[in-house]
Amino acid sequence: MRLIGTREARRGSSARVRATRSTYAVRVYEGAVQDLIDELGRLPGVGPKSAQRIAFHVLAADPADVRRLADALIEVKARVKFCETCGNVSQEDECRICRDPRRSPNVLCVVEEAKDVVAIERTREFRGRYQVLGGAINPIAGVGPDDLRIAQLLKRLADGTVTEVILATDPNVEGEATATYLARLLLPMGLTVSRLASGLPVGGDLEYADEVTLGRAFEGRRLLSA
């Protein structure tokens, strides 16, 4: 490796330096093994070490198990699509939730991703329907309102069936920006609009909560009845 002058180093973007370094450090195996490690390393949450561990697990595994994994990967791309109504993942044109007549058509819960639908479904607290935006407004990453399923949401609200919208975007900067943007669009339409409460984790300790979380918990406190 050649040493680069400080001025040159300063001019080079840190991202490029990082990329060069990781490519240099990671490409150590031959052919197919390295290709697999590279592909696995591109998955979210999989670092170079995990990618290597998974690749060697695959190498040692039974060919039938590996075939099943490969088939599952191909099938998911071939068969799973996004629900035409709400944007959730689905095997049909409409997802299971949109097809379920027992779900209330009057309440809509707006989430960022399909995995948020699963998280809310696990609580068994919500019996309405969903709108999956496909992300959150993020100007730095170049994601604007037009990149999300907001037009689809407005179209669903047009006939007046939905009377309440719950904004369940993530409690981070992008999620808050998206919720604020949507509230500004939806409130003038006369809808009941709410935002999920942010608060303290169950089983947590008050003294360890950060001030933003504790502040939100105060803001979202609820009255107790006898």
Site residues for Zn ion per CB under 5 A:
83, 85-86, 88, 95, 98
- B/e letters for 171-199, b = 16+ CB within 10 Å, e = fewer, are beebbbbbbebbbebbeeeebebebbeeb
Q: How far is the CB of 158 from Zn ion (least distance, A)?
A: 17
- Residue 138 is given by DSSP the state B
Q: How far is the CB of 136 from Zn ion (least distance, A)?
A: 19
**Cα separations (Å) of 219 from 35, 134, 171, 207?**
51, 28, 14, 17
**Cα separations (Å) of 90 from 48, 64, 73, 75?**
32, 27, 15, 13
Q: How far is the CB of 150 from Zn ion (least distance, A)?
A: 16
Q: Which is nearer to Zn ion, 94 or 176 (CB)?
A: 94
Pure H helices in 80-113: 96-99
Find the angle CA(156)-CA(159)-CA(165) to the nearest 5 degrees: 50
Q: How far is the CB of 96 from Zn ion (least distance, A)?
A: 8
User: d(Cα 147, Cα 151) in Å, to the nearest integer?
Assistant: 10
Q: Which is nearer to Zn ion, 37 or 116 (CB)?
A: 116
Q: Which is nearer to Zn ion, 85 or 178 (CB)?
A: 85
Q: Which is nearer to Zn ion, 86 or 153 (CB)?
A: 86
Q: Which is nearer to Zn ion, 40 or 148 (CB)?
A: 148
Q: How far is the CB of 86 from Zn ion (least distance, A)?
A: 3
Q: Is residue 27 within 8 Å of 51, Cβ to Cβ?
A: no
Q: Which is nearer to Zn ion, 90 or 178 (CB)?
A: 90
Element (H, E) at 114: helix 114-123
Q: How far is the CB of 100 from Zn ion (least distance, A)?
A: 9
